[in-house]
Structures are given as structure tokens and as C-alpha cells.
Amino acid sequence: MRKKIAILGSTGSIGSQALQVIEMHPEELELQVIIANNNVDLLIRQAQKYHPRYVVIGNEKKYDQLASALNQLPIDLYVGKESINQIVGHEAIDMVLTAVVGFSGLIPTVRALEAGKDIALANKETLVVAGEYITWLAEQKKIKIIPVDSEHSAIYQCLVGESTDWIEKIYLTASGGPFRERTIESLQKVTMKEALKHPNWTMGEKITIDSASMMNKGLEAIEAKWLFDLEPEQIDVIIHPQSVIHSIVQFIDGSMKAQMGIPDMKMPIQYALGYPARLKSTIQRFNFLDYPDLTFEKADTKKFRNLALSFEAMRTGGNMPCVLNAANEVAVEAFLEGKIGFLDMPDVIEKTLQKSSFIEKPGLEDYENIDFESRRLARSFL
């Protein structure tokens, strides 16, 4: 039987590539639902090309345009945030790919888990913000969360047949982004255009800026803590400019496993959607002779302060990762709008963390309030 897929965030980079993966595997995968918040033009083109059973637009102002364009197709249309939260639990779905960026992915992911749907997780903020609750809920529902981030997919694949009790340490690899060789002083004048030029990966704007500031790796470290039941001391970040080794697991006997491949996000997307099977693909094969030098460097947490702030929030725990994420989303948006400089982003985040009240055991109902208040506080520092 074909696995029935819903894509939350189909118009983003991950969602768009997931549609290509599903198209390449018609015998194993079946598209049921595509969901977007604002990009109605691309959502319409996707619906016309891939013919899902359901299409949902979050922005109610865009519904009339969607309905007019798709009125001749046998597709059921829905609108609004509550429709998104409901459709992810539909009986026609086996797996939900959560590919939206930011805090907005939390509640739909919770609703999908509550409905017993397996999750292909590309929204790292869900575990950053509410990792303890999400992992508890998945365990209660006996649901699999298959990571889509290339680094976490690599760790997940390295642990097949292994116990998490045998992990001594994991190494999340990072390309170093476009500013790996730049001095701190030179980063004062970094432009948005420069920050959006990632050397290896093609991603959306927010994730690309996070990669340039190393916040992406900090968020991934927090996500890894919850995905693999680790302590902060068991997580390290190393710079690997070639982006060929996607991450490494070191075991208690001293042996190590690494997952490798060409930097192409369709590979971890396909692994998650097809799990536990491996689906054949035409993705370019890795050739060692093309990469005679694989190099590694220590991550510079003085130059990339967001990485240090992330580990600090992870060690503190409680609501601090949620505060970190909210402040970062505000800072990145302000940088993209030209309101602050590149090095101002960690300043905003650090001040928000320092001024926020600590909550040791936030519940699901607390997270929206924490997110709202943290954003308000972060904006006061712009």
C-alpha cells in the first residue's frame, strides 16, 4: 500500500522538494494534502500539477483566489489555521511532513501526533520550543518522528540497529556558512545579499540566515538532545566545509559511524518519507575521488555567538529554548528588513534571554504566551 502524505508548508524549499520526491515514487508514496499559509500563487501551481486530494491555505484573504483557480479540479479546499490543525489528523493521512519554518509548526505537529500520524520533521523549532512535551506525546502515542534535517537524518541512520544508551557523543557537522573565513570585524558590514549566499545548500531565507549566523546549528543541537535523548555534554558541533559527512555518532566502545552523501536535501526527505524502506533515487552519487580532502575545524563560538547562546539555553532548559527561538525569529526578520546589522542579532537574543523570567516546567498552553512575550521583549531591543 502506498504511504499517504500531507505536506505542511508545501510552498517552501523542503515542501517543494518533497513534492518532487513523491512524484518520483508513485508506487510507494501518495500525495493527499498540501498546506501553505500565504504563497497562494505557488500553492495553486502545485495543486494543478500534483492533484492532491485536499488543499489548505492559512491566510483567509487568499481563499477566493485559490477557489477560483481550482474550481474545475476534484480537490477539496479549506482555509484558516483551525483547518490546518484539523486536516493533519485526517484519516486519509499516514504521515505528515512538517516543513514550515518557525514556531507556527508547533500546534499542527501536536495535532498530528494526537491523531496518531507519523511525523517527518523538518520544523526543528517544534523540538526546540517544546521538546520534552513532543517526545513524551510521541512515546505515549507510539509514533515515529523521523528527522528531515540532513544532520539529524544522518544521526538517525547511524543509530539503526544501535541503542541510544551506547552513544558517547554525537558530532553535528556544519559547513561554516558564507562567513567561515571572515573576521569578526568584517562581519559588522555584512549585507543581506552576502548572508543569503550559502556555499553548499539551497534553502529558504530564514534558514539561510540562521546558517550564516550558526543559529541553525544551535537549534539543531537542542533538537538533537530531544530526538536522541542526550545530555548537552554529549553534543558537539564541528565545521566541515565540504558538507559531505552529514554527522557522526561516537559510541562508548570508541567506534564511530558517519553518514555521507552529496549535499542534496532530497536525500533525507526521501529517507524520512520512505522509512523504514530505502527508496531508489537518481540523486547524484558521491565519489571519493571528487573529494580528495575532507577537512574539519573547531566551531568559533566567539565569532558566532548564537551557537554559544543556544548551548546556554539548552543547559538552562525550561522555557529558555522557546525564548531563544522567538528572539531569533524577531532578529532574523529585522535583519532581512534592514533594521539591524548581522552582529546585532546575537545582541538582541542575548538581551532577551537575560531579561526573560525562567519557567522550569512549561506546559503546552504556556508556549504561546512565552513565544508572544519573548517576541515583544526582543522587539524592544531592536
| Cell numbers given for 57 | 491555505
Beta bridge partners of 172: 237, 247
Q: What is the pLDDT of residue 101?
A: 84
Average pLDDT over every residue of 257-266: 95
Model confidence pLDDT, tens digit, residues 163-187: 999 999 999 999 998 999 999 999 9
Residues 41 and 18: their CA atoms lie apart, in Å, by 18
Can you give the pTM of this predicted structure?
0.92
Task: Please tell me the CATH code under which domain 3-143 is placed.
Answer: 3.40.50.720
Sequence-distant (≥ 6) Cβ neighbours of residue 110 within 8 angstroms: 130, 133, 134, 137, 364
pLDDT at residue 201 in the model: 63
What cell was used for 144?
Answer: 515515529
Average pLDDT, the chain: 95
What is the C-alpha to C-alpha distance for residues 367 and 362, in angstroms, rounded to an integer?
A: 7
Helices (H), the chain: 13-24, 40-50, 63-70, 81-87, 106-114, 125-141, 150-158, 192-195, 205-213, 215-227, 266-274, 305-316, 320-336, 344-355, 364-379
pLDDT in tens, 90-127: 999 999 999 998 888 999 999 999 999 999 999 988 99
CB 377 within 8 A of CB 355: yes
pLDDT tens-digit readout, 23-63: 999 999 999 999 999 999 999 999 999 999 999 999 999 99
CA distance 87 to 89: 5
CA–CA gap between residue 31 and residue 236 (Å, rounded): 37
Which residues of the chain are in CATH 1.10.1740.10 domains?
Answer: 158-264+295-379
Q: How far apart are CA 206 and CA 208, in angstroms?
A: 5
Which CATH architecture is the domain 158-264+295-379 placed in?
Orthogonal Bundle (1.10)
* Rounded Cα gap, residues 37 and 259, in angstroms: 34
In whole angstroms, give the CA distance from residue 219 to residue 207: 11
Query: Nearest 5°: phi and psi at 45?
Result: -65, -40
- Structure confidence at residue 235 as a pLDDT band (50, 70, 90): very high
Query: 3-class DSSP state for residue 88?
Result: coil
- Using CA atoms, how far residue 329 sits from 292, 314, 336, 349, 380, in Å, is 38, 17, 11, 9, 14
Predicted confidence (pLDDT) per residue in 312-363, tens digit: 999 999 999 999 999 999 999 999 999 999 999 999 999 999 999 999 999 9
Identify which of 256, 341, 346, 273 has the alpha carbon closest to the alpha carbon of residue 303: 346
What average pLDDT does this structure show over 369-378? 97
User: 202 pLDDT band (50/70/90 cuts)?
Assistant: low
CATH 3.40.50.720 domain span(s) along the chain? 3-143
Mean pLDDT along residues 208-220 = 94
